[in-house]
């Protein structure tokens, strides 16, 4: 996206944009940081904590929250996934930041896995994160039941690891 389009959409002068963000990368990095704070921490994790008390139920609650998100009019997928797939250069700072933000989400899953007593929380969090990302992509393709399908697979994974969940 060009700078002219950005300043028009933001309703600011080009100098104001450049004063706050010397480059488009700086703007993109600030957006990703804000997205992590607002989406991951202030929305997703707060919703999960409100919906469930045990680690297993909190893991499954991810997909309950996703199910509601996927049906919203403003659903546009995951910004971190979108950016990661858009940029080919593995050293691009915006791509690196997107990968780091995804790793931060995985770390939160790893913490829940550890709390649930899972023997290898890192491996489990990677599997769970695949379910999360896969459901987001499937929803982007139009699968309105992607979150429910991922939740079913998640239940099987939790059962395999002996993690109790509510009915």
Rounded to 5°, angle at Cα 135 from 97 and 30: 20
In the chain, the domains with their CATH numbers are: 23-160 (1.10.357.10)
Per residue of the chain (167 residues), give pLDDT as tens: 677 787 788 788 878 878 888 888 888 899 899 999 998 888 999 999 999 999 999 999 999 999 999 999 999 999 999 999 999 999 999 999 999 999 999 999 999 999 999 999 999 999 999 999 999 999 999 999 999 999 999 999 999 999 999 96
Burial of residue 158 (CB within 10 Å: 0-12, 13-18, 19+) is buried
Q: For residue 20, what pLDDT is reported?
A: 83
Q: Is the pTM of this model over 0.85?
A: yes
Torsions phi, psi for 8 (to 5 deg): -65, -45
User: Cβ contacts of residue 157 below 8 Å, gap of 6+?
Assistant: 124, 127, 128, 131
Distance CA 16, CA 108 (A): 36
**97-126 in b/e burial notation, b at 16+ Cβ within 10 A?**
bbeebbeebbebbbebbbebebeebeebbe
């Amino acid at each position: 996206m060009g700078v002219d389009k950005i300043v028009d959409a933001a309703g600011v002068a080009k100098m104001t944009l450049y004063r706050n963000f010397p480059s488009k990368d700086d703007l993109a990095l600030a957006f990703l940081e804000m997205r992590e704070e607002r989406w991951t921490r202030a929305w997703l994790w707060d919703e999960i904590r409100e919906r469930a008390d045990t680690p297993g139920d909190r893991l499954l609650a991810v997909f309950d929250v996703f199910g509601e998100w996927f049906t919203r009019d403003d659903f546009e997928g995951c910004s971190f996934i979108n950016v990661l797939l858009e940029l080919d250069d593995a050293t691009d700072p915006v791509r690196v930041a997107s990968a780091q933000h995804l790793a931060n989400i995985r770390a939160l899953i790893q913490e829940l896995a550890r709390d649930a007593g899972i023997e290898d929380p890192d491996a489990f969090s990677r599997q769970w994160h695949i379910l999360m990302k896969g459901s987001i992509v499937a929803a982007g393709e139009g699968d309105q039941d992607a979150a429910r399908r991922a939740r079913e697979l998640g239940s099987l994974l939790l059962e395999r690891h002996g993690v109790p969940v509510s009915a």
